[in-house]
A and B are shown apart, each in its own frame.
Chain A
């Protein structure tokens, strides 16, 4: 059973701080990793994807992947109240190439306090 684990939170950070969200996955053969943001009452929105070890930066967001440790993280710099949402970690579960077959963690709820 392939699993993706996240701390459910809530994670509370002050405005302007760095928020660090973590995710571990069980299947060592996983190849594609995604972070989605889900606001309450809304559908998930892709914010980052990462495929190789190391860091990937996009604006205030940095995704980090360590395949040896089976660990993915998302850093949000200069956190804003508008970043308050649930962040979902997802891993590609189909190695035959179907990018849409994702295994999701339960999500970490982030609250950024003004």
Chain B
């Protein structure tokens, strides 16, 4: 199994600012994944973060808006840049261990 810790768990952010979300896993994993869940919507994959290489972004998501770091095999950060109210979402860190995908508790962001 995997225990995933995310910080912050919740935040209210001002429009135009940026916020960095941290994700810490209790075991080494090759890939970490960042998802977004907008209000009333399902989860959408933002990007896959590999240690030692640039993140791979899904269609509709760009590095300038969601820069990701992956400095080692247990840690990753996602920054939400120049936030607007449309960025109000839950941001979830995820890892795959074997055939099981584990999610962190999520970071609930509200942009005002």
Q: In the bound complex, what is the Cα–Cα distance between A78 and B8 (angstroms)? A: 37
Q: In the bound complex, what is the Cα–Cα distance between A95 and B44 (angstroms)? A: 17
Q: Is A44 an interface residue (CB 8 A)?
A: yes
Q: In the bound complex, what is the Cα–Cα distance between A90 and B92 (angstroms)? A: 15
Check A88 against B43 for contact (C-beta < 8 Å). Answer: yes
Q: Is A32 an interface residue (CB 8 A)?
A: yes
Q: Is A28 an interface residue (CB 8 A)?
A: no
68-97 of chain B: CB within 8 A of chain A: 90, 92, 94-96
Listed stretches A13-21, A58-66, A68-76, A98-106; interface member: A98-106
Check B96 against A44 for contact (C-beta < 8 Å). Answer: no
Size band of the A side of the interface? 20 to 34
Q: Nearest B residue to A6 by beta-carbon distance? A: B42
Size band of the B side of the interface? 20 to 34
- Main secondary structure on chain A at its contact with chain B? loop
- Main secondary structure on chain B at its contact with chain A? strand
Q: In the bound complex, what is the Cα–Cα distance between A4 and B41 (angstroms)? A: 13
Check B48 against A43 for contact (C-beta < 8 Å). Answer: no
A49 partner residues in chain B, CB cutoff 8 A: 99-100
Check A100 against B42 for contact (C-beta < 8 Å). Answer: no
Q: Nearest A residue to B59 by beta-carbon distance? A: A1
Check A100 against B100 for contact (C-beta < 8 Å). Answer: no
Which among B41, B48, B101 has the greatest number of chain A C-beta atoms within 10 A? B101
Hey, what's the 0/1 contact readout for A77-108 against B, CB within 8 Å counting as 1?
00000000000101001000011111111110
Check A100 against B95 for contact (C-beta < 8 Å). Answer: yes
Hey, what's the 0/1 contact readout for B22-50 against A, CB within 8 Å counting as 1?
00000000011100000001111100100
Assess A46 versus B42: contact at CB under 8 Å? Given A98-B48, A100-B95: no
Q: List 14 A-B contacts (CB under 8 A).
A: A42-B105, A43-B105, A46-B100, A49-B99, A88-B42, A90-B43, A98-B96, A99-B101, A100-B33, A100-B96, A101-B33, A104-B43, A104-B44, A106-B42
